[in-house]
Structure 1
Amino acid sequence: MSRAPIPVPVVGVLAATALLAGCTAAPPAARPAPDPAPSASTAPSPTPSRPATGDLVLGPGGFAALPLGTRAADLDPATAMASFDPEACPGAVAGYEGLWAVDPSYAAENPFGPDTAFAVAGVDDVITRIDLYNGDVAVEGGLRVGDARADVEAAYPDAEQLVHGGGVSTVYLVPGDGGVLQIEVAGDDERYWADSATEPGHVFAVRAVTADTEPYGIAGSDNVLGDCPL
């Protein structure tokens, strides 16, 4: 006599299928995106400014920031060390009707001339001369107004000398790029200089002039910058 097949419980099969389905591996978690590389910061450009008095050095060709030959139209008013008024001196000799004025930031006390650390002059609107009347600004070679004759001769042993006014002063001529330095030293006659702030035998004025300027002295004259020419 044959036996009937033993029925397989359907519930068990379904449970096994569900169990296997529950064992399916979960997908890998997405990796976080890397932080963006920091952008290179650009340092702000420094604001252009005028050089300080203590940083100025007068050479044969003038100042680095204000050389001889500079035209008024070439200057930026925001940073210019000097400005030009073309109508300041009406009636003056042709070419000298205008007047250069140094920026007030260079205010200084002088024994003569304008109350600024330096003075500027020119023909028309072109700078041809820059003067120093005090020791606030250095001269190329390390000299300053107020230094002794021996200091000048040590700094410029080969300088040509111009005796001015019969010995009232001596002008030492130092040519270089862009012009000539004229370093004027007071004579040794104490009686002549007795009523001035100038010490005999010492530098009392320095100027940078164009190379085609004839050497000259200003001692005993009105050839001082700052006002309209007579």
Structure 2
Amino acid sequence: MKISRYLDVAVLKPQMCQQEITDAIMEAVREEVYSVCVRPCDIELAVELCRGTNTKVSCVLDFPHGDSTAEGKRALAELYAEKGAAEIDMVMNYGYARSGKWAEAEEGIRGVVEAAAAYGVEVKVILETCELTEQEIKEATKASIRAGAAYVKTSTGFAKQGTSAGAVRTMLDAAGGKIKVKASGGIRDYETAKSYVELGAERLGVGYGSIRTICDGEN
């Protein structure tokens, strides 16, 4: 297991200047992480910095609250795919999920998946599991499967809590092998990262400040 190939490195703090963004992306590229996950305004910069490397560019959509309309989410997905994002991490409307409005939540996911698919872009659905019950996490995972998403993801990293082993287990059980699972939020060292991979997560969302600690921990 080369841990860096499981990492999606988040470069998302709203106050970051362009030099800080560049420095974070270049460190991620040096460690050969799977992707850098950037703000929409930084897609083009990230594409340029990652060109010719082993690191892809992903971006967040409707982040961090997920409360745009289905039409808005779809339009943004097309825009970000056109700019060169290889993957999109979208936030599900978890207020809808908590309200039992599953058709509406699923519609928002499906629009992003359909728009992104035209460009060969995979979609990860952020559930914000700390805001959901176990049953809601299961239903959200099933809605993401029906909508055609590639992954379900635990957390934005901007809520009251990040990922948990319990949430990942619930998602994996509900997934039934039909969708991949990404653990994200609060993973800051190699042992924690390794534990989520061993649990069954196929991708890990980590902050740019934790890259070296996680990768050095494997050596």
TM-score higher than 0.5: no
**Greater Rg over alpha carbons, structure:** 1
Provide the TM-score with structure 1 as the length reference.
0.26
Structure with greater strand share of residues: 1
Structure with greater helix share of residues: 2
